[in-house]
Amino acid sequence: MTAFLSVSFCGCSSPPQNESVSMTGIYFDTVVTIEAWGAEKEVLDHCGELCEYYEHLFSRTLPDSEVSEINRSGGRPVTVSEETADLIRTGLKYGSISNGYFDITIASASELWNFTDNDEKLLPDPDALSEAVTHIDYRNVRVEGNTVTLADPEAKIDLGGIAKGYIADRLKEYLVSQDVEHALINLGGNMLAVGSRYDGTPFRIGLQKPFESDGTALAVMDVTDQSVVTSGNYERYFEKDGIIYHHILDPRTGYPIQNELLQVTILSDGSVDGDALSTTCYALGLTEGMELIRSLDGVEAVFVTSDYELHVSSDSLPISQ
């Protein structure tokens, strides 16, 4: 649930041994790009292998993934990898922090929506959506060690709201373990910096102006060794009868959240936190979302309201327009 972020680099010459290497692939139905300085090509190749590995753990749509196995379990205990159990625990933590506005059991509702190739702009059947909502409750997910059990046999898990952030964090850990000091990880708009740019200056990450398809930047953020994640109503949506139907769903109704926000961007040390908080704060709205951010240590946010005004969580946020 992230926005496309444009990144500007200064053109500077470097000795050959300091040139960057990069990899690009499609995982999790999105484009993944990693650029690293002072790294061997084999290190970047392994990043692609890690992406593929995690996709086969966390994907809701791949039939052989661990999440799909949980969703087919009918309430039977399922033993999963340590990574899947850890990510589910993180999702449950944010379910509690958000009072249920972030809910990893949203799948029963989200699978009824089509935001990608819905030329006829069809809405889900209201009765089916009402039934789906009765199975949304993160408190029905039990994790004991590496065993996951759904207390509601018809509940379904969707880790799409945090998986990319979690994977970005793991990729960063791997790059650092390979002595990479300068890199930029981009998982479909989830941006995570390893250190700074090679010349010591921050990465400059542009926040896309909502509904602009050409990547026009609304603002630019200076980032060193941190994550930038955005959620917005313009990422996957269709408009019908003057109403924008988008992919950020209200777990209480199954319908898209309708409020005064266009987007929320989170600056944090961990990308998984930014992933969960960007969705949570969008759902909470400007006032409650800002209160949540200001109650957390080491996290900053930019809220963009429907008048395209920027609301920042603190004056120290490294952002410019």
User: What's the rounded mean pLDDT across residues 95-122?
Assistant: 94
Query: Which residues lie below 8 Å from residue 141, measured CB to CB, with a gap of 6+?
Result: 88, 92, 104, 105, 148, 149, 150, 151, 155, 157
User: Is the pLDDT higher at 35 or at 116?
Assistant: 35
- Per-residue pLDDT at 11 exceeds 60: no
The mean pLDDT value of the chain amounts to 92
Which pLDDT does position 18 carry in this prediction? 66
Q: What is the mean pLDDT of residues 47-67?
A: 96
- Stretch 264-290: mean pLDDT: 96
What pLDDT score was predicted for residue 40? 92
What is the reported pLDDT for 10?
Answer: 41
Distance between CA atoms of 234 and 238, rounded to whole angstroms? Answer: 9
Which among 228, 224, 226, 227 has a CA at the least distance from the CA of 197? Answer: 224
2 pLDDT higher than 50: no
Instruction: Evaluate if residue 16 carries a pLDDT over 60.
Output: no
- Which structural domains are found in the chain, ordered by start? 5-38+183-320 (3.10.520.10)
What's the token pair of residue 265? Answer: 């961007």
196 contact partners, CB below 8 Å, separation of at least 6 = 182, 202, 203, 224, 225
Averaged over 223-236, what is the pLDDT?
A: 94
Mean pLDDT of the 258-284 span = 96
User: Phi-psi category of 182—alpha, beta or left, where left has phi over 0 and alpha has psi -120 to 50?
Assistant: beta
CA 235 to CA 282: how far, in whole Å?
13
pLDDT of the residue at 4: 40
Per the CB < 8 A criterion, the answer to whether 174 and 15 are in contact is no
Spatial separation of the C-alpha atoms in residues 140 and 132, rounded to whole Å: 14
Report pLDDT digits (tens) over 151-193: 999 999 999 999 999 999 999 999 999 999 999 999 988 999 9
Q: What percentage of the chain exceeds 70 in pLDDT? A: 94
134 has a pLDDT exceeding 90: yes
| Pair 3, 232: CB distance under 8 Å | yes
Number of neighbouring beta carbons within 10 Å of residue 156: 23
Our CA dihedral for 267, 199, 11, 193, rounded to 10 degrees, sits at -30
pTM of this structure: 0.91
Q: Residues in the chain, how many?
A: 321
Does residue 25 or residue 13 have the better pLDDT?
A: 25
Predicted local confidence at residue 116, as pLDDT: 85
Residue 277 pLDDT: 97
